[in-house]
A and B are shown apart, each in its own frame.
Chain A
Amino acid sequence: MATITLSNLSKDYGGGPVLRGIDLEIREGEFVALMGPSGCGKSTLLRLIAGLEEPSGGEIRIDGRRVNEVAPKDRDLAMVFQSYALYPHMTVRENMSFALKQRRLPQAEITRAVEGAAAKLGLTNLLERKPKALSGGQRQRVAMGRAIVRNPKAFLFDEPLSNLDARLREQMRYEIRKLHRELGATSVYVTHDQVEAMTMADRIVALNDGAIQQVGAPQELYDQPANLFVAGFLGSPPMNFVDATLAPDGALVAEGQTLARVSPPAGLAAGTTLTLGLRPERLALTDPTKGSAVRVDVVETTGTGRVVHLALGPQRLKLFTMDPRPLAPGDVVGLVVPPGAPLLFDPVSGARLS
C-alpha cells in the first residue's frame, strides 16, 4: 500500500504536450479512476506512474520517494493491461508465478500464493491451461491474478474491462471493487467509461486534452462539475446544454421562454449569455399551459422510464421521465425546471459560474 504523488508532471513525445502540469495525490488504499475521452492521455499517465515511459518534466513519488529514475521492475507496482499481456508460452500457473519466481521466493510459498489468488478469482481449474485456451473473461481474471499474487504497493489498471461484453463487465466491476475492499491496496484505474468511473472509484480524476479538469468523489463531480467538459462527460443520457440569457430579475430566458429563475450570481450583469446545464432526470413534464412550451421530437423507452427528446425552438433537450402520460412526436408539452436544477456555465471558458 502506498501513496503516489505527482507534481507538475508533463509528457511530450515530440509532437506537442500529451500531458501538462499534472498535480495529483493518490492516497493510501484509495481507488482512483482516471477518466477521459480517447486520446486524452490516460494511458500515458498510467505508464508514467508504472515507469514504462519517462516524464518530460515534473516528479513522481511513491511513498515520498522520488522514482523518476527507478526502473519499472524496482517500483513494485502491478499493472493489468487492456490486452492482458499474458505470457502466451506459459500456463496460467506459470503466468501467475512469474513475478514471484523473479524474487526467488520458496516454491511452497509461490504455490500457496498462486493457489490462493486462483481460488479468489475462480481460476483453480484453469491453472494448467495456456492463455490461448481461455475465454476473454478468463484471461482477464488471469491478468488480475498475476497482479494480486504479488501483493504490490499499488495496482495500475488500463481499461481492463473494455474487451469484455456488457454483462461480464458489470460482474468484473463488482469483483474488482470487492477485491479492492479485501486487499485495501492503492489502485489507479484508467477508463473512458463514465459508468465504470462512477461506480468503482473513491475519487475520479477527469482528464481532457492532457490536463486535469477536476478531481473529486463521483457524486461531487456529478452534482458540481467544474466545467462543461466534466458536466457533459458524466451521466447518461448526458446533461443538456441550453443557450440562455440572464434577465435583470434572475430569469433564465431561452428562445423567448423563461425556463427557470435564479438569484443572479455576483458579478453577472443582466443580459449576459450563459450556457445552462440541465440534467435530463431533473426535468419534469406538465401541461403546456403550466410550463415552458416545448415540442416532443422522439420518445425512447428504456424500461425504467422514457427518454423524451424535446425541441425548444432550434435547441434540443433530453428529458428522462417515469411519468406515464401519453406522448407522441409532435405533441406540445410543458417543461418544468425545478429550482436548483440549472447549472450555469460561462459559454466561452466553459467554467461553472454557480
Chain B
Amino acid sequence: MSRALALRLEPYLYAAPSLLLIAAIMLVPLVTGLSYAFHDLILLDPLSGDFVGLDHFREMLDDDGFWTALRNTVVWTAVSVALQFGFGLILALLLDRPFPGRGLVQALVFLPWAVPGFLSGLTWAWLFNPVIGPLPHWLHGLGLLATPENILSDPHLALWGPIAANVWWGIPFFAITLLAALQSIPKDIYEAAAMDGAGPLLRFRRVTLPLLAPTIAITVMLRTVWVANFAELIVVMTKGGPADATQILSSYIFTLAFQRLDFGYASAVAAVLLVLLLAYAAAVMVLRHAMTERA
C-alpha cells in the first residue's frame, strides 16, 4: 500500500471504531424495525414474512383504532405536558424564594420522580377505584361526577385517569429543571429591574420569562417526545380500554405487537409515530433558532 493512500485513509481508520459502534447500536435496530413495516410479519404464523410494500400504511388509513390512538396521543401529550409544565413552573417559582424548611420541601416535591412509573400507575388506579380510593367520592362531592364511579371504566373519561397520574408524576421534572434555570439568573438583574420601576409581575414577564425561554423550549420538547412515547401508565391503568378508548399510539403499538402478535403492522404504526415526533422536534428546533436569532 502506498504511503499516500495510507495517509488519506488515516482519519477514517481513527473514526471507524466509533462509527461501527454507532451503526451497530443505533442504526441496525432502527433499520431492522423500519423494514418490518414493509413486511407481513405475524408471530406464530410461519407463512408470513413476505414483502408487502405500503400495504400496512394503506391499512392504517381505514383503521379506526389508529385514528383514535392518534387523537388520544395528541390530547394525552398536550394536556399532560401543559399541566406538568404549568404546575412545575409554579412550584419552581415558589421554591426559588427562601422560606424555613425549604430543603425538606424541595426533597418532598421531587419525590414522585423517584417512584417507578408502573407503581404510580397502580397507585392512581387504586385511587380512582371507588371501593378503595377516595377520588371518585371527592369528585362526586365537588359535583364533577354524577355518581362516585370509576372514571377508568367510562370510555369518555378514562383517559383523564392516566393523565392525572402522568401530571403528578411529571411535575418534578419541570420543577427541577426550571428551578435550576431560575437560580442561574443573577439576583442583581431583578434588583436592577426593581430600581428601573418594574413591579413583580413585570419583572416576571420582562426578565424571568425571556431568560427561562431557552430552558423552557428544550425541556418542553424533550418532555413532549417522552410523554408521547410513554405508554406505561396507560397500559397499567386501563390497558388501552375500555374498548380501546384510551389507546395512544405507543400503547396501541404495544397491543398490536404483543397481543395480536402483528409485528409488521405494529412496526408501520411505530414508523408513523417516529416521523411525527421527528417533524415535531424539527419544528421546535426551527422555532427556537428563530427565537434566539431575534432575541
Contacts and interface: CB of A to CB of B under 8 A. Distances in A.
Interface in A92-111: 98-99, 102-103
Interface residues on A, range: 20 to 34
Given A88-B211, A102-B202, A73 B196 contact: yes
A92 B191 CA distance: 18
A128 to B, nearest CB: 12
A103 B207 CA distance: 17
A137 interface: no
B15 interface: no
B207 A52 contact: no
B188 A81 contact: yes
Interface of A: 50-52, 71-73, 77-79, 81, 83, 85-89, 98-99, 102-103, 146, 150
Contacts of A103: 197
A99 B202 CA distance: 11
A85 B189 contact: yes
Contacts of B196: 73, 98-99, 102, 146, 150
Contacts of A83: 186, 188
B192 interface: yes
A50 B211 CA distance: 25
> Chain A binding site: helix, strand, loop or mixed by DSSP?
loop
Contacts, number: 58
A89 B205 CA distance: 12
B193 A87 contact: yes
29 contacts: A50-B195, A52-B191, A52-B195, A71-B194, A71-B199, A72-B191, A73-B194, A73-B195, A73-B199, A79-B191, A79-B192, A79-B195, A81-B188, A81-B191, A81-B192, A85-B189, A85-B192, A86-B189, A86-B192, A87-B189, A87-B192, A88-B189, A89-B211, A98-B193, A98-B198, A99-B197, A102-B198, A103-B197, A150-B196
Contacts of A146: 192, 196
Interface of B: 186, 188-189, 191-199, 202, 206-207, 210-211, 295
Nearest to B185: A88
A187 to B, nearest CB: 15
Contact of A52 (B186, B194, B295): B194
A78 B195 contact: yes
Contacts of B197: 73, 99, 102-103
Contacts of A89: 210-211, 295
B66 to A, nearest CB: 43
A51 B194 CA distance: 9
B98 to A, nearest CB: 13
B189 to A, nearest CB: 5
A52 B189 CA distance: 12
B195 A87 contact: no
